[in-house]
């Protein structure tokens, strides 16, 4: 998963280009910066890789979601549908927009189940955020068909799948807006950072202004003398992040290629065990191979299998127990705990009614995740480590089956 594994001379060179100019800000300082525009160049190259018309780098993946929702005009009282397996940033951004998150089930792609999405659409639904979780594709074509039928814009949360594709098209290009995270554990990283892509000029202009206090970024108007269509906030990326991003983007194909090789080797070990099945990957060629997800026949077997792996120091992620990615463990949603003295967003909501969530609202997701184990895949997995994994997997299989 992490691009930091391949940090090298390329990142150092890019950073030193910036330090030599002394300009860390992505806008202005034309004279001092001596033609060095790292963030702008990263935007250009990222859009070009994806085949998107516009791109905007921002300070984090979480910020991309907030900016994208603002660009679409999502407002207090609106509903935004996302899924019950994602990092909490996806629904935090919806709450930050004043809107109400609504959660759909996931299916064995480990991403949004299209049928449940359609069931959850109401007249309040103003955006849909499917998430391409743990490196591979959501059923985005079917999701787009449903969204288009209802005239609702889609933001593809591609935070965990930069460089992934579906039938040759880059993830993030199917919806109105695609967003990416470059945080410290992502396939390409800038430490903190994210990218927004779109092919709609109006949305791009909204994003660009909103992420920078409303600045219009007009080529012939000096910054500070420009106009403001609306207030925004500061979600800007800085030049040092842009610099690292350029080096990392160039390495992305290599990172994915190596992860694919490692993932295949581990998958082969697991395939020998009768009773283990795998996450459905819609297009294996377009998988970024950051994770290998597999199912045991039942919850008890999954836990026992993982106990043996953990004893051998190669424990898998058991998302059922994870408090950051799995709906039934997002306790603040069920208890309505918040720092706001008014109880917002759970109480005094603009909808005119309090809203709290039920822990048992996604039974399909819960049943799936009881049986799910996930190995993170690294770029560098030496043969000794792989051999050690084989031994541990064999021991776990013997114990469980
Ligand atoms: C699915 C998903 N969306 C959004 C984010 C937020 O990205 P960031 O950590 O860059 O704020 C993450 C981060 O892990 C994520 O996994």
Reading the block at residue 273, the tokens are 């065990």
Top mutation candidate among 87, 93, 178 for ligand 1, by most atoms within 8 Å of CB: 87
Top mutation candidate among 58, 61, 86 for ligand 1, by most atoms within 8 Å of CB: 61
Top mutation candidate among 159, 177, 192, 290 for ligand 1, by most atoms within 8 Å of CB: 159
**pTM exceeds cut of 0.95:** yes
State residue 208 phi and psi, 5-degree precision.
-60, -45
Residues 187, 83: Cα–Cα separation, whole Å: 22
- pLDDT of 351 > 70? The answer is no
State residue 355 phi and psi, 5-degree precision.
-135, 130
- Write out the E strands in 155-299: 155-157, 165-166, 169-170, 177-181, 194-198, 277-278, 291-295
350: which DSSP letter? T
Instruction: Please state, as a whole number, how many other Cβ atoms lie within 10 Å of the Cβ of residue 21.
Output: 15
Cβ–ligand 1 distance for 159 under 6 Å, the answer: yes
Cβ–ligand 1 distance for 60 under 6 Å, the answer: yes
Instruction: Please state, as a whole number, how many other Cβ atoms lie within 10 Å of the Cβ of residue 146.
Output: 18
Span 71-128, pLDDT tens digits? 999 999 899 999 999 999 999 999 999 999 999 999 999 999 999 999 999 999 999 9
Instruction: Please state, as a whole number, how many other Cβ atoms lie within 10 Å of the Cβ of residue 65.
Output: 30
Q: How confident is the model at residue 348 (pLDDT cuts 50, 70, 90)?
A: low
**CATH code of the domain occupying 3-251:** 3.40.640.10
State the pLDDT at residue 136: 98
188: which DSSP letter? S
Least confident residue range of 184-188, 291-295, 328-332, 356-360: 356-360
Cβ–ligand 1 distance for 160 under 6 Å, the answer: yes
Cβ–ligand 1 distance for 156 under 6 Å, the answer: no
Cβ–ligand 1 distance for 369 under 6 Å, the answer: no
Cβ–ligand 1 distance for 241 under 6 Å, the answer: no
Domain residue ranges in the chain: 3-251, 254-324+363-400
Cβ–ligand 1 distance for 62 under 6 Å, the answer: yes
Same CATH topology for 3-251 and 254-324+363-400?
no
Cβ–ligand 1 distance for 163 under 6 Å, the answer: no
Atom nearest to 192 CA in ligand 1 = 10
How much of the chain, in percent, has pLDDT values that exceed 70?
98
Residues 334, 327: Cα–Cα separation, whole Å: 10
Span 163-179, pLDDT tens digits? 999 999 999 999 999 99
Atom nearest to 60 CA in ligand 1 = 10
Nearest to 364 by CA among 133, 175, 111: 111
Which residues are the active-site residues? 186
Please tell me the number of Cα atoms within 13 Å of 382 on its side-chain side: 3
Cα(139) to ligand 1 centroid in Å equals: 20
Reading the block at residue 368, the tokens are 């799936």
How confident is the prediction for the chain on average, in pLDDT?
Answer: 96
Cα(33) to ligand 1 centroid in Å equals: 31
Q: How confident is the model at residue 130 (pLDDT cuts 50, 70, 90)?
A: very high
Reading the block at residue 355, the tokens are 């809203």
Using DSSP's 3-state secondary structure scheme, residue 220 falls into coil
Top mutation candidate among 1, 83, 89 for ligand 1, by most atoms within 8 Å of CB: 89
User: Which residue, by CA, sits nearest to atom 16 of ligand 1?
Assistant: 87
User: Which residue, by CA, sits nearest to atom 14 of ligand 1?
Assistant: 87
Reading the block at residue 170, the tokens are 């880059």
What is the CATH T-level fold of the domain 254-324+363-400, as seen in this structure? 3.90.1150
Atom nearest to 186 CA in ligand 1 = 14
Cα(269) to ligand 1 centroid in Å equals: 30
């Amino acid at each position: 998963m992490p691009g930091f594994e391949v940090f090298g001379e390329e990142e150092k060179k890019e950073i030193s280009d910036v330090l030599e100019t002394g300009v860390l800000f992505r806008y202005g300082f034309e004279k001092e910066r001596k033609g060095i525009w790292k963030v702008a160049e990263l935007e250009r190259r990222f859009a070009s890789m994806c085949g998107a018309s516009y791109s905007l780098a921002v300070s984090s993946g979480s910020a991309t979601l907030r900016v994208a929702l603002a660009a679409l005009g999502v407002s207090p009282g609106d509903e935004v549908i996302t899924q019950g397996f994602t990092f909490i940033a996806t629904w935090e951004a919806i709450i930050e927009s004043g809107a109400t998150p609504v959660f759909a089930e996931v299916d064995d792609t480990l991403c949004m189940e299209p049928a449940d999405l359609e069931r959850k659409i109401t007249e309040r639904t103003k955006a849909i955020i499917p998430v391409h979780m743990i490196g591979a594709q959501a059923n985005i074509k079917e999701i787009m068909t449903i969204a288009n039928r209802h005239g609702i814009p889609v933001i593809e949360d591609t935070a965990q799948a930069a460089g992934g594709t579906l039938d040759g098209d880059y993830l993030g290009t199917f919806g109105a807006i695609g967003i990416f995270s470059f945080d410290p554990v992502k396939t390409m990283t800038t430490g903190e950072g994210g990218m927004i892509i779109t092919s709609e000029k109006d949305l791009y202009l909204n994003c660009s202004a909103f992420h920078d206090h409303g600045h219009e970024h007009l080529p012939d108007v000096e910054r500070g003398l420009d106009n403001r269509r609306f207030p925004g906030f500061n979600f800007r990326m800085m030049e040092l992040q842009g610099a690292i991003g350029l080096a990392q983007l160039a390495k992305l194909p290599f990172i994915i290629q190596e992860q694919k090789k490692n993932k295949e080797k581990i998958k082969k070990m697991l395939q020998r065990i009768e009773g283990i099945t795998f996450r459905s990957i819609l297009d294996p060629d377009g998988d970024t191979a950051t994770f290998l997800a597999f199912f045991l026949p039942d919850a008890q077997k999954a836990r026992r299998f993982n106990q043996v792996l953990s004893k051998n120091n190669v424990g898998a992620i058991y998302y059922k127990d994870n408090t950051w990615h799995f709906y039934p463990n997002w306790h603040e949603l069920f208890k309505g705990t918040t720092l706001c003295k008014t109880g917002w967003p759970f109480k005094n909501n603009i909808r005119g009614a309090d809203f709290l969530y039920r822990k048992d609202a996604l039974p399909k997701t819960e049943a799936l995740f009881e049986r799910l184990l996930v190995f993170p895949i690294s770029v560098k997995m030496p043969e000794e480590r792989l051999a050690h994994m084989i031994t541990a997997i064999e021991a776990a299989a013997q114990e469980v089956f």
